[in-house]
A and B are shown apart, each in its own frame.
Chain A
Amino acid sequence: MFSKDRRIIYRRRIKGFWEEFSHNRIGFLGLVLLLIFVVMAVFAPWLTPYDPVVAPRVADGFAAPSWMTIFPQYSEYPYTIETYPYWEIETGSDFVEIFPGKDVELKLRTTESTSTEVSLTSSFDYPYSVPPNAFVITFDLGVQNAKNVWYSAKLFLVNPNGTALRVWFEPYRNSTQLNLSVIVESVDYWLVKSLGYPDPKAINLARMMFADPTEGEYKLVLNISFVPEEGTRLAEADVNIYSTSVFIPGLVHGILGTDFSGADVFSQLIYGSRISLAIGILAATIETFLGIIVGVTAGYWGGTTDEALMRVVDILLCLPGLPLLLTLVKLYGKNVFYIVIFIAMFGWLGLSRTIRSQILSIRESTYIECAVASGAKRSYIMFKHLIPNIAPIAIASMVLSVPGGILAEASLSFLGFGDPRVPTWGKMLNYAFGHGAFENFAWWWAIPPGVAITLICLAFVFMGFAIDEVINPRLRRRR
Chain B
Amino acid sequence: MREYIAKRVVVAVAVLFIVATLNFTIFQVIWAGDPTATMLDPEFTKEQKDMLKVQYGLTEPLHIRYFKYLQNVFTWNFGFSFKSMGPVAEELSWRLTNTILLLGVATIGTIMVGISIGVFAGSRRGSKADVFALGMGLFADGVPTFFIQMIFLLFFSYLMYLWFGFQLFPSRHMHSVPPPTDAVAYMADVAWHLAMPALSLIVAAFGGWALYVRNLMIDALTQDYITTARAKGVKERSVLYRHAFRSILPPISTIITLSIPGIVTGAVITEYIFTWPGIGSWYLSALTADDFPVVQAVLFIYAVLVIICNLVADLLYGVLDPRIRVGVRR
Contact = CB atoms under 8 A, between A and B. Distances in A.
A148 to B, nearest CB: 61
Contact of B298 (A315, A323, A415, A457): A323
Contact of B31 (A314, A331, A416, A455): A331
A315 B153 contact: no
Contact of B138 (A322, A323, A462): A462
B192 interface: no
Interface stretch (B94-102, B173-181, B239-247, B303-311): B303-311
B179 to A, nearest CB: 25
Nearest to A329: B287
Nearest to A311: B11
Nearest to B298: A323
B217 interface: no
A206 to B, nearest CB: 25
Contact of B268 (A322, A407, A474): A322
B142 A446 contact: no
Given A318-B15, A439-B158, A411 B153 contact: no
B303 A318 contact: yes
A414 interface: yes
B146 interface: yes
Contacts of B150: 429, 432-433, 446, 450
A358 to B, nearest CB: 17
The A interface, classified by DSSP as helix, strand, loop or mixed, is helix
A232 to B, nearest CB: 64
- Secondary structure at the B interface, as helix, strand, loop or mixed, is helix
A454 B146 CA distance: 11
A323 B268 contact: yes
A320 B158 contact: no
Contacts of A433: 150, 273
B253 to A, nearest CB: 16
A432 B154 CA distance: 11
A26 B139 CA distance: 12
A407 B19 CA distance: 25
Contact of B299 (A311, A323, A429): A323
A477 interface: yes
Contacts of A453: 143-144, 147
A318 B307 CA distance: 6
A137 to B, nearest CB: 35
Contacts of A457: 141-144
Contact of A321 (B31, B146, B262): B262
A477 B139 contact: no
Nearest to B305: A320
A14 B171 CA distance: 52
B219 A474 contact: yes
Nearest to B279: A323
B147 A450 contact: yes
Chain B contact patch, size range: 35 or more
B146 A411 contact: yes
A475 to B, nearest CB: 7
B287 A327 contact: yes
B261 A321 contact: yes
Given A331-B31, A438-B158, A314 B264 contact: no
A104 interface: no
Interface in A325-346: 326-327, 330-331
B303 A326 contact: no
A458 B299 contact: no
A447 interface: yes
A460 B288 CA distance: 33
A324 interface: yes
A124 interface: no
Contact of B162 (A414, A441, A462, A478): A441
A246 interface: no
Contact of A443 (B154, B219, B298): B154
A410 B144 contact: yes
Nearest to A319: B303
A460 B310 CA distance: 29
B268 A458 contact: no
A454 B147 contact: yes
Contact of A323 (B22, B141, B262, B283): B283
A324 B299 contact: yes
B313 interface: no
A53 B215 CA distance: 45
Contacts of B302: 320, 323
B122 to A, nearest CB: 12
A317 interface: yes
A65 interface: no
Nearest to B295: A327
B266 interface: yes
A465 interface: yes
Contacts of A321: 261-262, 265
Interface in B21-38: 22, 26, 30-31
Contacts of B158: 438-439, 441
B261 A318 contact: yes
Given A321-B262, A477-B126, A458 B138 contact: yes
B17 to A, nearest CB: 10
Of A314, A327, A416, A478, the most chain B CB neighbours within 10 A belong to A327
Interface of B: 11, 14-15, 18-19, 22, 26, 30-31, 126, 138-139, 141-144, 146-147, 150-151, 153-154, 157-159, 162, 215, 218-219, 222, 258, 261-262, 264-266, 268-269, 272-273, 283-284, 287-288, 295, 298-299, 302-303, 306-307, 310
By Cβ-Cβ distance, the 7 closest A-B pairs, closest first, are: A450-B147, A457-B142, A458-B142, A320-B302, A322-B265, A454-B143, A320-B265
26 contacts: A26-B138, A315-B15, A318-B15, A319-B303, A320-B265, A321-B265, A322-B265, A322-B266, A322-B268, A323-B268, A331-B26, A331-B30, A410-B144, A410-B146, A411-B144, A414-B146, A414-B269, A429-B147, A433-B150, A438-B158, A450-B143, A450-B150, A454-B144, A457-B141, A457-B144, A477-B126
Given A433-B150, A454-B144, A457-B143, 11 more contacts: A318-B19, A318-B303, A319-B19, A320-B261, A320-B306, A321-B265, A326-B283, A410-B146, A414-B146, A429-B150, A443-B154
